Each structure stands twice: as structure tokens, then as C-alpha cells.
Structure 1
Amino acid sequence: MAVEALTATVAVSNQSRGERRWLWLVPPLLLIAVLVVYPLVLVAAESAPAWGEVLGSVEFRDALVRTVQVAVCSTIGCLLVGTFLAVVISFVPFPGARLVASLVDTMLALPSFLVALSFTFIYGTAGILRTGGFLTTPWAVVLAEITFYTPFVMRPLLAAMSRLPRAQLDVAASLGAGPWRVLRQVVLPEVRPAMVAGGSLTLLLTLNEFGIVLFLGAKGTTTLPMLVHTKGIVMFEYPAACAIAVVQIVLSLGLYALLRKALGGGRRARLD
């Protein structure tokens, strides 16, 4: 009887403890509902009257295409430049390599508009290079985003390359493989997960970049975030701005889910 009573007491205690654990979920769920879900619901509700106008607008379609073009071009540029710099810092000994790696970390803490500001002093009409109308082209936005977001690719690549077994590289070199072959067949396959992770993050960030585009004010480079700002702040067309914002949110979340599924599928394949 004593054992049965003790067992019943333990069961009741575990049940009450489990109920208390569920109570801890209430505050964060309420916080998310108030700070995230409720504003999104308001934006979606406000956008209802403007969907026909927005989807039929040439301005919206051009902004959508331009947003994807700028994000993809910037991400490809970041992958190329970031991989090159990471290889040089990791495998080409030169004085100041640690200082350069530290500067990479510092770049991550800077606001994006500083890059756009520096571009005006370099490429502007009164700048050092005086390239005329370069700042008014989409390529100026792409170059500025590559400059700012390349560290987001370099940082995971540097971490992955620092964990590469040097013995593996030495064996490949001793078997007659040249530097380019070692890089292509040994280094890049090993650091591919870090490259994909950095590229995915960069693609998501450039897709939603606003500060660089706004500060440069490049003609013909109206992206979705810029169009939201124009419709909502400049023209006071709030339903249209909310509709475009909903499209931006859906695009970002869809891309995030797609990348997460692709990365998760890759991990499951390796485990299998």
C-alpha cells in the first residue's frame, strides 16, 4: 500500500510539473502574438483593397524583377569575392592576415548606409574616380551590396577552412596535385556547406536591403522595399504599400523555407 501511495504521489507530482511547464509557454506566445502576428494581420487586412491595383501595376512587376536581379547578382558576387578572399587569408601566408580577418568581423557590425556613403566619395561626380553616372545605375547598388555583404560569406568560410585537416592537403599535394586541383577537389567540397549557408543568408539579406538602395538613389533600381517606402511614406498610399509589403514577406518566407528544406535535405542525405 505504501508503495502504491508513493507511486500515485509521484505521478501527481509529475503531472503538475508538466502542467507548470506548459504555463511557461504562455508569455513568449503572447509576446510573439502582440509584436509579430498582430502587426502582420493588420498589414494584410489593410492591403485588401489594393491587391488588384498592385498586381496589375507595371511598376510593381518591374520592382519585383529588379529585386530578384539585384539580390541574385549581389549574392553571386559575394560568393566569388568571399571565397577568393577566404582562400587567400587561409592558405596564402602574408603579414597581416589576422588583421584582415579581424577587419572582416568589424565589417559585420557596420550599418549598410556607410558603404553607400563611401561610394558617393569614390564614384560620385565630385568623388575620387568621378565615374559620372555610375552611381545612378543598378550596378552601383550591386557593387555596394557585394562590398557590404561579402563578410557574411567570408566568416563561415574562414571558420570551415580553419578546421580543414592540413594532413589531407599535404597528402593531396604529395600525390602530385597542384594548388588549383587541391582547391577544386579537396578544399571547396569540404567547405561547400559553409558556402551554401553564407550564400543563403546573403541572398535573404540582399532581397530585403533598403538602406543602400535608398542612400544611393539609383535611377531604375526601384526594389520592393524601396517601393513600399515610396508608396507608404512619400505618396501616402497605405493599402498599396501594405500589399507590396505582404508580397515581400511572402517572398522572403518562401525563400527561407526553400533554403531551409534544401539545407536540411542535404544534411539528411549525408547522415544516410
Structure 2
Amino acid sequence: MTALLDTPVAAPPPTTPAKRSLGALWVLPPLALVLLVVLYPLVRVFWESSAEGSWGEVLGSQIFRDALWRTVAIAATSTLGCLVLGTFLAIVLAFIPFPGSAVVGRLIDTVLALPSFLITLAFTFLYGSAGAVNAALSAITGSSSPLLDFLYTPAGVITAEITFFTPFVVRPLLAAFSLIPRAQLDVAASLGGSPWLVLRTVIMPEAWPALAAGGSLVLLLTLNEFGIVLFTGAKGVITLPVLIYTRGIVTFDLPGAAVIATVQVTLSLALYCLYRLVFARLAARKEGHHAVVEPTK
């Protein structure tokens, strides 16, 4: 036994340059696929947008400025609504058990798998001019005109987007809440902390990275959302994706559509870079907080 322990273990053979270069060749097929699927369409869009006079014509038009403002306003409002509603639902599901909470969690997971236009169709059947809610209100009041007429306005688009994208906030928060030790919450409660104080000082500081990740994802998705706006049929709600569709498909103005698409891509990339910066700072602050707490233990 001692002889076996004293026997030196042979070091693994060094990797030769030929094997290293052969292994690097496996990177080429996925890299070529990414270049073909992602980079080539972007280059074509940028090239189409370089037509003479396209940028000045599009950026100087009032419809583009209105669509840009409406896109940002709808995306920001929908994201704020998703953050508020998603945080509330995640806290209830994680810390306030009730009969049927598991079923509610499964329903939230189901919404993640559905296409966005199904939510719009459901809203049409419920809140449309001939929907179930207006039919019930008309039967009660005797009015022939629809009493609830918000679906074809920006408020209807925002409500549909909040309904569809809230699970993208709930899921990361539930994952973050599951990592909080139960003993930490019990100690905070035993020291006399109210539920609101425990939520503000113990739970939410651990959930900020997940909340930032979910909110950033929702902001990017709502900024580029097309199906909900199109299937809602709101004629006055023209966003950048709808304007790209109108210019490129309806009027066949490909240079103009490419300019708007370039603006859309630039805006999305800017938001992504901002998200990465904010997330890195939150992660660094959290690591610094843990580094300060550990020596005191």
C-alpha cells in the first residue's frame, strides 16, 4: 500500500500544436453559421439604408418621430407594469403559500410557451366590441354601444403586453427568492422586523440582479414587439416595428424600412449595453457587500 502511494503519478502528455489547431477547427462551423444567420442580414440592412436621401427623408418625417416616441413610451410603461405586477406575484408565490399556488406557477410557465398573438386574441374575445365583457355589460345596462372600448388604444396594447411579458419577470425573481436561506428570514422576523421591513432589507437586496435581468429582457422584448400591436388592430398605434412592416411590405420602400430597422437595432443594442453595465455594477456591489460581511462573521 505504501509502495503504491509512493509511486509518482505520470503527468498527462502535453497537447501538441497540431492537436490544438485541429480542435480550433471545430469553432469554424458554428462561427460561419452565426455570420450567415445574424451578421449577413444586418450588413444587408445597413447597406440598404445607405441609399441617397433615405436617412434625411425618414428621420425628418413626423410619422417616424411619433412612432419612435410611441415605441419607447409603450415599452417603458409595459416594463414598469411588468415589474410591479411580476414582483407582487413572485412575492406571493414564494412567501405566502395558498391553495392552488402550484397551479398558478404552472399557468405562468404556460404563458411563456404561448405566442404573443394568442393573448391578443383572448383579449379580443374578452374585451373587444363584441367580446364577452361588453356583452355582459350591455345585457345589464341595456346599452347597444360597447361600454368598454380600450382594446384598440395604446392602453389596450400596454395591457396585453403586461399580461404576456409579466412571467419573464416572475421566473427570475422566483429563482432568486429560492436561494434566500429560510433561516435568514426567520432571524429577521424574530428580531421584531415587520414583513415590510424584512422585504425591504432582506429579500429585495438579494433580488435586485434578477429584477434587473427580467426588466431588461422585458424592455427589449416590448421594444421590438410586433405581433401584439398588429393583432390588436389599433390603427392609431404605430410603433417602429409596425412602421418597418408598412414601409417594407406594404409600400415596398426598402431603403426607408432599412433606415428604421437600423435605428431599431441601434436602440436595442444600446439598451443591451446599458443592461450589461448595470448588471455588472450590481454584481460587483453584491460581491463587495459579501466581502465586507464575511470577515465580521
Structure 2's unaligned 5+ residue stretches are 1-12, 135-146, 289-297
Alignment pair present for 1:145 and 2:161:
yes
* 1:219-249, Cα deviation, whole Å (9 max, x unpaired): 3321110100111111111111111011111
Quote the offset at 1:266 in angstroms: 2.2
Over the matched positions of the two proteins, sequence identity in percent amounts to 58
**Judging changes above 3 Å, is the alpha-carbon distance between structure 1 residues 188 and 268 closer, same or farther for their aligned structure 2 residues?**
closer
Q: How does 1:105-116 map to 2 (within 5 A)?
A: 105-116=109-120
CA distance in structure 2 between the aligned counterparts of 1:37 and 1:206, rounded to whole angstroms = 23
Q: How does 1:74-113 map to 2 (within 5 A)?
A: 74-113=78-117
Query: Aligned to 1:28, which of 17, 27, 30?
Result: 30
Aligned to 2:149: 133
* 1:63-100, Cα deviation, whole Å (9 max, x unpaired): 11111111110010001001101111111121111111
SS at match of 2:17: helix
Report the TM-score when normalising by structure 1: 0.92
Letter in 1 for 2:107: L
Query: Aligned to 2:196, which of 180, 184, 200?
Result: 180
Structure number with bigger Rg: 2
Structure 1's unaligned 5+ residue stretches are 1-9
SS at match of 1:177: coil
Contact 1:138–1:219, Cα closer than 8 Å, also in 2? no
Query: Aligned to 1:48, which of 44, 47, 50?
Result: 50
Contact 2:225–2:241, Cα closer than 8 Å, also in 1? yes
Alignment pair present for 1:193 and 2:209:
yes
Q: How many residues align?
A: 262
RMSD over aligned CA atoms reads 1.5
Contact 2:209–2:283, Cα closer than 8 Å, also in 1? no
SS at match of 1:134: coil
Contact 1:137–1:218, Cα closer than 8 Å, also in 2? yes
* 1:178-197, Cα deviation, whole Å (9 max, x unpaired): 11221122111121111111
Aligned to 2:63: 59
CA distance in structure 1 between the aligned counterparts of 2:91 and 2:105, rounded to whole angstroms = 12
Contact 1:152–1:198, Cα closer than 8 Å, also in 2? yes
Contact 1:156–1:195, Cα closer than 8 Å, also in 2? yes
Letter in 2 for 1:94: F
Alignment pair present for 1:68 and 2:72:
yes
Report the TM-score when normalising by structure 2: 0.84
CA distance in structure 2 between the aligned counterparts of 1:261 and 1:71, rounded to whole angstroms = 20
Aligned to 1:156: 172
CA distance in structure 2 between the aligned counterparts of 1:161 and 1:22, rounded to whole angstroms = 40
Contact 2:216–2:275, Cα closer than 8 Å, also in 1? yes
Alignment pair present for 1:229 and 2:233:
no
CA distance in structure 2 between the aligned counterparts of 1:62 and 1:266, rounded to whole angstroms = 34
